[in-house]
Amino acid sequence: MLDAGTDGYVTEDGRKIGGVLMEMKNITLRFGGVEAIKDISFDIREGEIRAIIGPNGAGKSSMLNVISGFYVPQEGEVWFRGQRRPQMKPFQVAAQGIARTFQNIALFEGMSVLDNIMTGRLTQMKSGLAAQTVWLGKAQREEVANRARVERVIDFLEIQHIRKTPVARLPYGLKKRVELARALAAEPMLLLLDEPMAGMNVEEKEDMSRFILDVNDEFGTTIALIEHDMGVVMDLSDRVVVMDYGKKIGDGTPDEVRNNQDVIDAYLGVSHD
């Protein structure tokens, strides 16, 4: 078992994982009579890659939506950087340093890749409408600085060749990458990825895995991801939370989870009482 103390731990490949960045305490989320999430607690530590897995309908996306502030749980507390997070709008959560990608790509199809990624910098732009329109002095300097950051991300994800291409014209795999780029542009402390590999072929999955590891390594970004592809999850993540029917049925390193009887049952299909 991992040392769950406040000082963090060291991974197999020698990365130092820090203290708790985000903690979910007894979260319960209901939609009318349906309990999507039942009394779940877990933490995400600084610098780690944390996966949430589970069969279809287990409540993974709902969990991610709770973290990103899109859903407000009926019970339980969300703690972020040692403070209890009050009820917030998603944009306020974003401003706190949490960025995400979506299961079904949510980009502005008619805009260029560059413009799409620039929207990721929106939280950093301070100048008002008038200044932006005239585009002199501060507004201009601000845009240049933000563009510089965006260009770093473009370089990092190797999408220079589609910088000016409208998103609608891109193949699926590249759209996914653009979405990641937009999230990265926000320089998040915590990056939430909702099925980053869904619908990709093997080669695209390998590329995406590489990028996720590189992001974590290069920028020290903490990553929480939902993913169906078990191979990918086990390779990428440091710790895994397993959900089934809204409940947490496992939590630990990939190896621990793999040998957990409840998890095996959930995946192989045992009748639920």
- Report the distance separating Cα 62 and Cα 58, nearest Å: 9
Indicate the pairing of strand 75-80 with strand 49-53.
unpaired
206 is a site residue for another protein (CB under 8 A): yes
Total chain residues near another protein (CB under 8 A): 20
**Binding to another protein by residue 217, rule CB under 8 A?**
yes
* Closest distance of CB 239 from another protein, Å: 20
HSE at residue 196, side-chain half, CA atoms within 13 A, is 30
Crossing angle for the helix pair 202-219 and 138-156, nearest 10 degrees?
130
Binding string, residues 151-190; x marks residues near another protein by CB under 8 A: xx-xxx-x-xx-xx--------------------------
Report the residue number, 9 or 156, with the smaller CB distance to another protein. Answer: 156
214 binds another protein (CB under 8 A): yes
Q: Is 196 within 8 Å of 208 (Cβ atoms)?
A: yes
Binding status of residue 117 toward another protein by CB under 8 A = no
Q: Does 218 bind another protein (CB under 8 A)?
A: yes
Question: From the CB of 93, what's the least distance to another protein, in Å?
Answer: 29
Task: Give whichever of 52 and 150 is closer to another protein, judged by the CB atom.
Answer: 150
Residue 13 interacting with another protein (CB under 8 A): yes
Closest CB 48 distance from another protein, rounded Å: 16
- To another protein, the closest distance from the beta carbon of 234 in angstroms equals 20
| Rounded alpha-carbon distances, angstroms, from residue 82 to 20, 22, 39, 46, 141 | 8, 8, 20, 12, 34
Strand partners, 20: 45
Q: Tell me whether residue 174 or residue 233 sits nearer to another protein (CB atom).
A: 174
Helix ranges (DSSP H) in the chain: 60-67, 90-95, 113-118, 129-134, 138-156, 172-185, 202-219, 230-236, 254-258, 261-268
Do 37 and 246 touch, CB atoms closer than 8 A? yes
Rule CB under 8 A: is residue 144 a binding residue for another protein? Answer: no
Query: Is 235 a residue that touches another protein (CB under 8 A)?
Result: no
The alpha helices in 157-251, defined as continuous H runs, are 172-185, 202-219, 230-236
Q: Could you list the residues that contact another protein (CB under 8 A)?
A: 13-14, 147-148, 151-152, 154-156, 158, 160-161, 163-164, 203, 206, 210, 214, 217-218
